[in-house]
Each structure stands twice: as structure tokens, then as C-alpha cells.
């Protein structure tokens, strides 16, 4: 008789966004005349940049001709894309990364979940609280997190690093030493980030304690301040302790197109074993590459037009972020984030729980946001709004929130 992976049974409830989806559907069914605006899920709304579309058209034509047709992509991804990444994302930022340290993928969600394959089940992970749920849930699936403690809304074998307004949403070095540390800056969901000097402290700590950092930089394109690192490899010593995850979803609108990459430096070794080799082995066995057409589209993001056009998209969303932040602040809300990230993290008014405020927003303003508690216990009492909506809808939503 076969057996299932029972770790799946330990996972609490349904995924945050399906719960939200159900609530919104029920509301719309009961109120078909209401126009509900979503500032909830972190999906983009602007179309792909013309430079990206042109590159895709060209690549489609190549696939239709015998001379230029492409089958399976090389294991690490096409060299043209990896070279563009090395130059633009690393060399130009004084960070040393080589092309054979870059693994092209279909996005940061799968990589952040799959990276656990190369680590022993016996590692203890540390996560920020609140956190992008994928890090915790995929470790739970792998049997690394112990048991879920319903009353605490925590896993028994996970180190939680609270990120709350009292510490400026910056995790503090935990008392217990973790083996694997997940960091995401700029942060989803809090919209906050840490300075390069603060990040350097984490790199030093990981090197001193034999820990590895999984650094999710999916939102680096939203950094507007100077003292913040776009890559962890801008920090000294990061090549011996950090893996970096990147995505084309938020900087170039590839959420539906799917493209990302993971950097595993060759200097990153665990008792002499190269993690680069392990990840190459893992990807070579379980993954057959991102499509050629999409990798060409990714390359176009680094062209002069591509850079200009995607910068404009980011600016569009950041203008939404500014409007949300400023308008809600002037209406008396306590708001965080939205300066180096497309997320605004607000304190729920009148000590409402996150879900109570969700219901108020849905029922009274017809605006959908994300309850902070869905990202972890320290998210209770907070609420996330995203800047990824259309400008007109964002304005409309904010007016409605102000009139609650
Ligand atoms: C922190 C973080 N990492 C990764 C992802 C997923 O990125 P991708 O679309 O590349 O899978 C998201 C998406 O919302 C995210 O917020």
C-alpha cells in the first residue's frame, strides 16, 4: 500500500489567497452590483514592455524556421541571458558573479521552494515574521518545520524573527543559531527594507556561524534609496554564505510569462561540497529549462529600450505606492513601506484584527487587501495593500477607504 507525504497534512488551512478569493467571491455573489477593487494579490497590471514583446515576436519566428529552431535549453539557461544578467545586475553594481553561477528558471516561487532539495532535512530554518508563505510551507512539506501549533500559529521547529514597527520591520539576530536563514529585501509583505550595512551584519553572522542565507531579491527594482543593496553580493563575504533568488515578475511584468534565476556562487561550500554543483545536479535532473522565447524576452529587459520601458513601469507602480502611502497617512492611518517596495503595510485602526479589517474594507469600501496575520503571527494587526493596481483604480480605492 502506498503512502503519501504526511507532512502535507500538517499544513494549516488553505493558502492565504484562496481564503481571500473565497470571501471575495461570496461577497460579489451576494452583491452583484458592487464594483470590487483589488489591492490584494501581488500581481502586476501593466502590459509587457514593447521591447520585450518585439523580442518575443522575433523568437517566435525563429522557432518556426528549421535553421533557427531551438529545442531544450542548456541546463543553466542560455548564455546570452546569463551574460546580460552578470553585466547589468552584478558587474554594474560592483558585485562579483559569473555566468556559470546563474541558473535560469521559471521564477522565484519555484526556486525558493525547490532550493530546499539540496539541504538536509535536519537543518533549522529562520524566517522573518511576517513572511512570504512559500519559504515556510515548502520547508513544512519537506518535513523540516516540526509540527504546526495552531494556538501560536507557528511551527514548532522554526525560528521566527519578528519584524514589527518597534524594530522598524528589520529582523534581529535570533537567540538560537539557525542553519538556513531566509531574508527578503525589499520585503514582501511589510514593504520595508534594511540598509546595506545591516545586510552586511547578516552576511558576517552567517559566515561566522556556518549558516546559509537564502536571499530573495524579487523586489530589488523598487529600491529608490542609495544605501540599500540591490544584491546580497554587494556585501563582502556573501559569496561564501548566500544564495540569491531573482525574478522578472515584478521588475518587468513577467508574472504570467514566467522567468527568474538563482545565483549559487562557486565559493559557497558546505564541508567542501559545492552547493553550485548540487543545485546544477538538482536542476539538471528535475527541470528542463525556461522557454527560449521567454529567455529572449528576458534578455530584452536588459536592452536600452527594455531598461527604459521597465523603469517606467516600476515608476508607475511606485507612483501608486506614493499615493496610497500619502493619502492614507493624511487620513490618519499609520502606514509603512511603499518607498523601496510596491507594498504598503498599514496598522489596522481601532485595534481591529487583520481579518476584521479585511471584512470592513471589503464590505464598506469594496476594496480587497491582504490580512497581515496571513503572513505570520507578527502580521496580526497589520494589513497589506499593493501598488500593482491601475492608477485610476488605486485612486478610487483610496477615496473609498478614506470614506469608511
Ligand atoms: C518575495 C517573493 N518572492 C518570490 C515571488 C514569486 O516570484 P515569481 O513570480 O518569480 O515566481 C513573489 C511573488 O509575489 C514574492 O513576493
Task: State which ligand 1 atom lies nearest to the alpha carbon of 259.
Answer: 10
Q: Which residue's CA is the closest to the ligand 1 atom numbered 6?
A: 109
Whether the CB-CB separation of 253 and 247 falls below 8 Å is answered with no
pLDDT at 308: 98
Q: Which residues contact 313 (CB under 8 A, 6 or more apart)?
A: 44, 46, 49, 252, 253
Match 538556513 to its residue by C-alpha cell.
180
Angle at 40 between CA 35 and CA 41, to 5 degrees: 120
Task: State which ligand 1 atom lies nearest to the alpha carbon of 255.
Answer: 9
pLDDT at 347: 97
- CA 33 to ligand 1 centroid distance, Å: 33
The 10s digit of each residue's pLDDT in 241-278 is 999 999 999 999 999 999 999 999 999 999 999 999 99
pLDDT at 42: 86
Residue numbers of the chain with a pLDDT score lower than 70: 14
Domains of the chain and any CATH numbers = 7-47+306-402 (3.90.1150.10), 53-304 (3.40.640.10)
- CA separation for the pair 341, 320 (Å, rounded): 11
pLDDT at 41: 80
Q: Which residue's CA is the closest to the ligand 1 atom numbered 7?
A: 108
pLDDT at 208: 98
Q: State yes or no: cis peptide before 263, omega within 30 of 0.
A: no
The 10s digit of each residue's pLDDT in 374-391 is 999 999 999 999 999 999
Nearest to 386 by CA among 399, 367, 402, 404: 367
The 10s digit of each residue's pLDDT in 321-335 is 999 999 999 999 999
Whether the CB-CB separation of 23 and 17 falls below 8 Å is answered with no
Q: Which residues contact 329 (CB under 8 A, 6 or more apart)?
A: 335
Strands (E), 11-80: 37-38
The alpha carbon torsion through 393, 395, 400, 401 (nearest 10 deg) reads 110
Going from the C-alpha of 34 to that of each of 6, 37, 39, 93, 134, the distances in angstroms are 42, 10, 16, 48, 32
Amino acid at each position: 500500500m502506498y503512502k503519501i507525504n504526511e507532512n502535507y497534512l500538517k499544513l494549516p488551512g488553505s493558502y492565504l489567497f484562496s481564503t481571500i478569493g473565497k470571501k471575495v467571491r461570496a461577497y460579489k455573489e451576494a452583491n452583484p452590483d458592487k464594483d470590487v477593487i483589488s489591492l490584494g494579490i501581488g500581481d502586476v497590471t501593466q502590459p509587457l514592455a514593447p521591447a520585450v514583446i518585439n523580442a518575443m515576436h522575433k523568437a517566435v519566428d525563429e522557432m518556426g524556421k528549421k535553421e533557427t529552431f531551438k529545442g531544450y535549453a542548456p541546463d543553466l539557461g542560455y548564455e546570452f541571458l546569463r551574460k546580460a544578467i552578470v553585466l547589468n545586475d552584478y558587474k554594474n553594481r560592483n558585485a562579483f558573479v559569473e555566468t556559470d553561477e546563474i541558473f535560469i528558471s521559471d521564477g522565484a516561487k519555484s526556486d525558493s521552494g525547490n532550493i530546499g532539495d539540496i539541504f538536509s532535512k535536519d537543518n533549522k530554518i529562520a524566517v522573518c515574521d511576517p513572511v512570504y508563505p512559500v519559504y515556510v510551507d515548502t520547508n513544512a512539506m519537506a518535513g523540516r518545520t516540526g509540527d504546526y501549533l495552531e494556538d501560536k500559529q507557528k511551527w514548532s521547529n522554526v525560528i521566527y524573527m519578528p519584524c514589527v514597527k518597534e524594530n522598524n520591520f528589520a529582523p534581529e539576530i535570533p537567540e538560537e543559531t539557525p542553519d538556513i536563514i531566509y531574508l527578503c529585501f525589499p520585503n514582501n509583505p511589510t514593504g520595508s527594507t534594511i540598509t546595506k550595512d545591516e545586510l552586511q551584519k547578516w552576511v558576517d553572522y552567517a559566515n561566522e556561524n556556518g549558516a546559509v542565507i537564502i536571499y530573495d531579491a524579487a523586489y530589488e527594482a523598487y529600491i529608490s534609496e542609495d544605501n540599500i543593496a540591490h544584491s546580497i553580493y554587494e556585501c563582502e563575504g556573501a559569496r561564501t554564505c548566500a544564495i540569491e533568488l531573482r525574478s522578472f515578475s515584478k521588475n518587468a511584468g513577467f508574472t504570467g510569462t514566467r522567468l527568474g534565476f538563482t545565483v549559487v556562487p562557486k565559493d559557497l561550500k558546505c564541508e567542501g561540497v559545492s552547493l553550485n554543483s548540487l543545485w546544477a545536479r538538482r536542476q539538471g535532473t528535475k527541470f528542463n529549462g525556461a522557454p527560449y522565447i521567454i529567455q529572449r524576452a528576458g534578455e530584452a529587459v536588459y536592452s536600452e529600450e527594455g531598461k527604459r520601458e521597465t523603469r517606467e513601469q516600476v515608476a508607475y507602480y511606485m507612483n501608486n505606492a506614493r499615493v496610497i502611502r500619502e493619502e492614507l497617512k493624511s487620513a490618519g492611518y499609520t502606514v509603512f513601506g511603499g518607498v523601496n517596495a510596491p507594498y504598503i503595510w498599514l496598522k489596522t485602526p481601532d485595534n481591529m484584527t487583520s481579518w476584521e479589517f479585511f471584512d470592513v474594507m471589503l464590505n464598506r469600501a469594496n476594496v480587497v487587501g491582504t490580512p497581515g496575520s496571513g503572513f505570520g503571527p507578527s502580521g496580526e494587526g497589520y494589513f497589506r495593500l499593493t501598488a500593482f493596481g491601475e492608477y485610476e483604480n488605486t485612486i478610487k480605492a483610496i477615496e473609498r477607504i478614506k470614506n469608511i
